[in-house]
Amino acid sequence: MGRLENKSAIVIGATSGMGESIARMYAAEGAEVILTGRREEKGRAIEESICSTGGKAVFVQADSTKKEDLERIFQVAMDRFGKIDILINNAGVGTTGAIDEMTMDAYDRTMDINVRSYYEAIMMAVPIMKKQGGGSIINTASIGGLKGLAMTSAYCASKGAVRLLGKSLAVELAPFGIRVNTICPGTIETDMLDGTSDEYRKMLADGVPQKRLGSGDDIAYGAVYLGSDEAGYVTGADLVIDGGISV
């Protein structure tokens, strides 16, 4: 039996990188998965790949910053599975630039994707989880929410907000059996590094004590733990997965 057998999960932001790895590993561990993202062709391919190996997955094309799209995600989940045991907020955008060159449009877009969409998804999940008697909410932040990183003020502000959102809700929702935890990845090999040079990647890896970039599976292993019954007494935690870079 898989570690997530008989559980249903929504993975928002699952058409690439860490989210794709989480969706695939969740299905492999027995969960029924709703995976979402804006890229329909990629999402359908992931769904087909998971189902072809015996997993249970449904792709919903959606933009997590749109309320109507989030509502549709939750409706599909309830129609297909009748419950939502785990919500994973993983949609995100990296925003770089000096503070005196940043535009408010860029700042607002960062906050809309990295914070507001999480908040709104949680607002929809909580009444369902309360009625069920519990659930697990996992938010993706970053080591940028733990320490200051130059040229990423909007990004760091958004990830810091995600961390404290998780801690506040962990206290608020604990009496209802709802756990809220945060994963803080370090430098991970994702689509955000596509097009960068080998030299740049080596420079990033050299800055990590383990001397390597993280993989999507490194993050997915943490998400499986936090979603499983093994983490039944874990809430309000920051699970840092960064090869030691933030120590």
**CB proximity list for 206: less than 8 A, separation 6 or greater:** none
Global pTM? Answer: 0.96
Q: Helix, strand, coil % (nearest 5) of the chain?
A: 50, 15, 35
> Band of the pLDDT at 194, cuts 50, 70, 90?
confident
Q: Is the pLDDT of residue 191 over 90?
A: no
Which residue from 84, 87, 82 is spatially nearest to 13, judged by alpha carbons? 87
Residues with a catalytic annotation lie at 155
Q: Any idea which residue has 């910053």 for tokens?
A: 65
Q: What is the mean pLDDT of residues 189-200?
A: 80
Q: What is the pLDDT of residues 114-171, one digit of tens each?
A: 999 999 999 999 999 999 999 999 999 999 999 999 999 999 999 999 999 999 999 9
Q: Assign domain 8-237 to its CATH architecture.
A: 3-Layer(aba) Sandwich (3.40)
Specify the pLDDT at position 81.
95
Instruction: Give the up-direction half-sphere exposure of residue 49: CA atoms within 13 A in the CB hemisphere.
Output: 14
**CB proximity list for 214: less than 8 A, separation 6 or greater:** 185, 186, 187, 188, 189, 241, 242, 243
Higher pLDDT, 198 or 30: 30
Are 235 and 174 in contact by the 8 Å Cβ rule? The answer is yes
Which residue from 86, 63, 83, 72 is spatially nearest to 137, judged by alpha carbons? 86
Q: Which two tokens stand for residue 229?
A: 């019954």
Residue 60 vs residues 49, 75, 151, 171, 237: alpha-carbon distances, Å: 15, 11, 34, 31, 29
Highest mean pLDDT among 127-131, 202-206, 243-247: 127-131
Q: How many other C-beta atoms lie within 10 A of the C-beta of residue 66? A: 13
Specify the pLDDT at position 229.
97
Q: What is the pLDDT of residues 59-88, one digit of tens each?
A: 999 999 999 999 999 999 999 999 999 999
Q: What percent of the chain has pLDDT over 90?
A: 92
Instruction: Give the up-direction half-sphere exposure of residue 94: CA atoms within 13 A in the CB hemisphere.
Output: 15
SS3 (DSSP) at 142: coil
Are 138 and 179 in contact by the 8 Å Cβ rule? The answer is no
